[in-house]
Structure 1
């Protein structure tokens, strides 16, 4: 995985300033220890499992039914919420696919999230080009959003980008890295990793202020600050599928996973109104692995977030849910450090 040390300096959702500083890290004493998992609602667990196993090499590690969960009932606004979930693992992070037995009418009528949001817009997979991950993703039923051909945004860097949707509308950014073009002392141990989870926001300044406080990272990587440096151009459009797209972005490292925050000025993101239904198809939550629930709650509220639920038993530990200033659903979960859902299960954050 040492290749990522070189390749990451130029990777992002679309492009990145060559002079941008590296993403800051979580303070060692932070109550937040990493990202346990990202949740996503799908229509058919078996079909989704087959696609992500075959194309992206995620490994199925758990099947769990969620029933009688007071937090899920409260977030869904009704009693008796039931969902079958399947945990799929990469070398550094996990996705938890959820199939609800009784989706609400509002959820079924909710459209997939657009590239410009609002909300959790995509998950990014960075892979060795030789894996042909993007081609396998399309062959498995996904559809490209921009041009079908992957785009090299910077001729100095051997990274090729694409955006595509799976059959439930989940957007994946896939980055192919040409390993042969990197000067490495030895081949990387792993060919794939989950690079980041991305939020699209109507106000990047407000949202970065919240996450800087929550994560203890006042100095973070930023590119494209409006109206000066901007993310734009034909190649960027060829990735995103937008016409004359212009935007700016910021990045935070949450130990094992990067959080990307995007604001599109060319396609203004609507200010979120009522929260997106818990059971609507698409990414529905980001769950942070924390060491102390009370301390995490206090930190979340001080940063400007709103707590939605009380502590609820889940995955051998407890979880509370809150919303960031945009209304994105964030879980704060405490479990034993050797629990399946703990981010601390990934040795050296998936590098080894």
Structure 2
């Protein structure tokens, strides 16, 4: 596996595509200390594993068989749920893919999530340009949602962007960074990393308030609050006409949480949450130091509790929902656990 650190590149990329004010600040010992994984429901575990391994250099774990696990049963709303899952790991974060043997009819009939949400919209892969990650995705079954060519947003910043769907119509973003154009004095260490998971919201201020309290971060970076971000290049990336957006970012140790609101086209709030076994991103699971403290923060922020802590994956996990109905897991496990965010040396930088 060839790797090259994009830690510095992350900073440069953000500086190039965002318009920030105050620097964010966080308490010294936050309850949420990282992101264990982003959950995905897929139709074919092997096909998805091969795709993300080839294109994004993710390392697959062994497959775990799920047969009527109490936690999974509660998430899908029925007893006897059967599935298989595996982790796909990068240098700084990971995905947990799950394929259900028989998804519920409601899940099977749930339409795919649009780029504007609301919901867990996409995962972003930030890579060195010479890896040809975007082209590898397309060669292995992915399809662009906008312009098939990557878009260079800012001439001063050597980063190229594209949104695409995988074969399950699950949205992802690729950022190609032209490392040579950066002229760095020291060669970077990692060529591939997962940069962020993006939540598309119907109310930016409300979501920022929720996650500021939950994550104990003040003054997150924001863009488009006063003048919405728009233009022909954005339309080409998002595959939408006259798109207008605003954004915010929370850095949670090893992974960035991006909040995005489309003001055009405007998303329609969901009456009920997306089923856990519907194709797409099904959860964001946080690594926490204390489950009781995490529960308190969730409820104080205005979220709802889905289930109290129960054993799973060698630790304990609790679930709740944010103000848009996104499913959030709060997991406490040993630092040596393959699920723990603490396994990533230097957060993948």
Counterpart position of 1:83? 83
1:25 and 1:340 map into 2 onto residues whose CA distance is 29
1:135 corresponding residue in structure 2: 135
Query: What CA distance in whole angstroms lies between the structure 1 residues aligned with 2:61 and 2:25?
Result: 28
**Taking structure 1 as reference, are residues 295 and 116 closer, same or farther at Cα in structure 2, changes over 3 Å only?**
same
Residue in 1 that maps onto 2:179: 179
Q: Please state whether the residue corresponding to 1:308 is helix, strand or coil.
A: strand
Match status 1:66 vs 2:69 = no
Q: 1:10 aligned to 2:8? A: no
Q: CA deviation at 1:311?
A: 1.7
Q: Deviations over 1:81-102 (max 9, x none)?
A: 1210010000000101100012
Unaligned runs of at least 5 residues, structure 1: none
The answer as to whether partners of 1:90 and 1:193 remain within 8 angstroms in 2 is yes
Matched pairs, number:
346
How big is the shift at 1:241? 0.4
Corresponding residue of 2:104 = 104
2:284 and 2:124 mapped to 1: Cα distance?
14
User: What does the per-residue CA deviation read over 1:214-244, in whole Å, with 9 as the maximum and x for residues that have no partner?
Assistant: 111121101101xx32210000111110101
Q: Report deviation, 1:27.
A: 2.7
The answer to whether the 8 A contact 1:11-1:159 is kept is no
Offset of 1:68 from its aligned partner? 2.8
Counterpart position of 2:305: 307
Task: Select 1:231's aligned residue among 226, 229, 235.
Answer: 229
Identify the residue that residue 165 of structure 1 maps to in structure 2. 165
Q: For structure 2, which runs of at least 5 residues remain unmatched after alignment?
A: none
- State the SS of the aligned residue for 2:217: coil
Find the counterpart in structure 2 of residue 31 from structure 1: 31
Corresponding position of 1:243: 241
**Shift >6 Å, 4+ stretches:** none
Residues 1:95 and 2:95 aligned together:
yes
For 1:78 and 1:188, the matched residues in 2 are separated by 48
**Deviations 1:169-226, CA, capped at 9 Å, x for gaps:** 111100000001103112111101000000011101111100000111121101101x
**Superposition TM-score, scaled by structure 1 size:** 0.95
Q: Sort the Cα spacing of 1:88 and 1:304 in 2 relative to 1 into closer, same or farther, 3 A.
A: same
**What TM-score results when the alignment is normalised by the length of structure 2?**
0.96
Closer, same or farther: CA 233–152 of 1 in aligned 2, 3 Å: same
The whole-number CA distance in structure 1 between the counterparts of 2:25 and 2:253 is: 7
Which of 269, 272, 275 is matched with 2:270 structurally? 272
For residue 48 of structure 2, what is the aligned residue in structure 1? 48
Deviates more, 1:303-312 or 1:142-151: 303-312
Partner of 1:342: 340
Say yes or no: does 1:147 pair with 2:147. yes
Following TM superposition, by how much is the alpha carbon of 1:67 offset from its aligned partner in structure 2, in angstroms?
Answer: 2.6
Change beyond 3 A, Cα 1:73–1:158: same
- Is 1:25–1:253's contact at 8 Å kept on the other side of the alignment? no
Distance across 2 between alignment mates of 1:62 and 1:219: 40
Q: Which residue of 2 aligns with 1:260?
A: 258
The answer to whether the Cα contact below 8 Å between 1:286 and 1:331 also exists between their aligned partners in 2 is yes
SS in 2 for 1:52: helix
Q: Distance in 1 between matches of 2:213 and 2:192?
A: 31
C-alpha distance in 2 between matches for 1:6 and 1:298: 36
Q: Separation in 1 of the partners of 2:14 and 2:50?
A: 27
